[in-house]
Amino acid sequence: MAETGAFPDAVPSPDAALSPLARAEHFVWLTARVLEQRRFAYHFLDGAGGDPAADAVETALTSYATADGGYGFALEPDLRGPVSQPLHTGHALGVLDSIRRCGGQRVERVCRYLTSVSTPEGALPAIHPSQRGYPSAPFVPIVDDPPSELLATGPVVGLLHRNEVWHAWLFRATDFCWAAVESLERSHPYEIRAAIAFLDGVPDRPRARAAADRLGRLVREQRLAALDPADLDAYPVSPGYAPGEHHFPHDFAKVPESLARSWFTDAEMARSLDFLARDQEADGGWPVRWRQWAPGTALESRPIVTIEALRTLRAYGRHIG
């Protein structure tokens, strides 16, 4: 046993001969929060997908819940502090959706929270002013009267519709999303990803397909997806993004069933998934590509990104181990 205060020069990386999943497991046990450890176990380890594993995820998620029905406590790592925020709450709904627990009284409380923080249009701001005074990413400005944001609203509305959750808040929020999506012209990858998350869940499928077809043309015309990972210089990084913060076909179409899958040829998607598989780092985790502004946020974000990378590769039938 090492002497008190002594640390090795470097933490050993997992054996490169191990499967991607085994190397990722090493990384998760080494670095992840309890919530991501429980999520990893639910999705990938023995007994994956069962009720006990889902219960464990729910229990871990509850530690981020706030008294007003939302979620806080840096559940979304780029927003620190104890206050609830729409982005934290959307993240929580995504976790519940992934374990098939997006319903019941918990989600009813969430919808009441969403109603309480909505803008006059009935949509969500990216950041509620209550974040002021707590650390947060400098690229997420805090203003007193924040506007409605498709970035915050689209994924939440799409997810609730996909889970057949009905609440009065959804009516106006859905109208906002339709108007925002169908009026998009110049855009950026995160906004497009929020739009497709809405379209993948909304009940009006013919209208969703038509809107998605238009967005796909926009993505290709504006070169928002890096279609050739071997030639990234050919694809501009959107203003305000970190250097090298490209988005790839698999970022838009996380599962084959997504409407965004039709935006890309089989060859383009194969190149994208090859790149995603190669992007696993020596320590077993996947990298964070957006701008990092504090050591803790990067450490907490990488296990989240790693779980999503593995889920995407598995959804497309790629071998992960």
pLDDT band with cut points at 50, 70 and 90 for residue 15 = confident
Residue recorded with tokens 């890309």: 264
Beta-sheet strands, E only, within 169-270 = none
pLDDT-above-70 percentage for the chain: 96
Do 165 and 111 contact (CB within 8 A), yes or no? Answer: yes
Residues 6+ apart with CB under 8 A from 162: 97, 200, 201
**CA dist., res. 102 & res. 275, Å (int):** 32
What is the rounded average pLDDT for all residues in the chain?
94
**CA dist., res. 154 & res. 150, Å (int):** 5
The whole-number average pLDDT for the span 85-99 is 97
Do 180 and 154 contact (CB within 8 A), yes or no? Answer: yes
**Alpha carbon 58 to chain centroid, angstroms:** 18
In sign, the C-alpha dihedral spanning 227, 91, 134, 30 is negative
Helix, strand, coil share (%) of the chain residues, nearest 5: 55, 0, 45
- 240: left (phi > 0), else alpha (psi -120 to 50), else beta? left
Least confident range of 10-14, 166-170, 206-210: 10-14
Q: Tens of pLDDT along 21-46? A: 999 999 999 999 999 999 999 999 97
DSSP for 7-50 reads --SSPPPPPTTS-HHHHHHHHHHHH--HHHHHHHHHHHSTTTTS
Please give the pLDDT value at position 5. Answer: 47
Amino acid at 17: A
pLDDT band with cut points at 50, 70 and 90 for residue 153 = very high
CB atoms within 10 A of CB 86: 27
Please give the pLDDT value at position 126. Answer: 92
Is the pLDDT at 128 greater than 90? The verdict is yes
Amino acid at 82: P
Q: Tens of pLDDT along 180-204? A: 999 999 999 999 999 999 999 999 9
The total number of residues shown for the chain amounts to 321
Phi then psi for residue 293, to 5 deg, are -125, -5
Q: Tens of pLDDT along 238-287? A: 999 999 999 999 999 999 999 999 999 999 999 999 999 999 999 999 99
